[in-house]
Structure 1
């Protein structure tokens, strides 16, 4: 409907110079005048089809600009929950001038692809802080993995969480409790204590807060990123994120 309205407005502007001023009052047109007007529009578009793509491009640019403005406002409204919630794992350069927040799910194929790109970004830039948000949305196995990861962080600490996080990102099998136990044992974690903590209110709270935050930010898929005040919805390679970081630094 938006495209149709745009094209109609465009055609009207194009033909306004060719028609008498009084003929532009659509309500006062006769049927014959209306038909002539429609014919004129159609003929113009058939002779100049590139105008349609130009109109679509302008519309997409305006929509992207409006979305970016909305995203900036959403980030500002939820700044503390995004960058300093007190429970998310934080890595990279803790004193970095740019903070990158990642919403991820261990069963998400694009999250697995994004992980080495994020690591490459951190290594190449050296001045970016990373915040990881556990955001399980792909079924019970996703929730199980996130519960185990969050419990590991709360029971065993930040380094143990990162080691397990990386192992889960690389893991391609079925996520089950026995599989998680084997991963934990391989990392020499206290899997008994971690498994016992998985259903605790503290773990429940982290998952609930992350889901509430994602809902406020209109995040519906993974991976999703927030770089300072910019939303990055979906997978991006390291060079694209580097370009965005450079743009942010020049603002």
Structure 2
């Protein structure tokens, strides 16, 4: 028997809204209202919260959804595609794929924040994609926690789990891992563009992903933590 979907799905021409089962709308804005004006509602919710989380392409805003703090992110292309297309997509497929990856990771016991709400709407010829995930309380990025040995060890262990699961994450770096010091947990965030290969990563793929992860510390922090230095010395 197929596992029931965790989402309520609402559709209209040029608009899609997915809401996690159990999440309730506010009295003044029901789900049909969100379907019609989801981006406007998110902008207003973020304005009220007034908190920006992160910077650059991954910049996100805090919002409140059904009494819970959530993190709103608008999907954007990276690299050269980002220069050309920014936050414009041909359809909502990439957003749906991210939702599926998130649920599979959570089912496998890998820490990644629950998706509370996803919204896509057509804007001219293209679509915009929005995602609200549950906020990970009292957390900082592994990059910010790079002086803490426990954070680095937890990150290394999480990466090995991801490699074994067959996840190919396009933006797997220390800025997209969160460390909860009090709970001793490491979380993966920003799954846009990620996919499962249907097999564990090959040794050459793991070597390349490890090296890329380690280089992030050097590029943005000036030096690579000792734990990850061997990842740069292995030839491909």
Common fold: TM-score over 0.5: no
Larger radius of gyration: 1
Higher strand share: 2
Instruction: State TM-score, norm by structure 2.
Output: 0.23
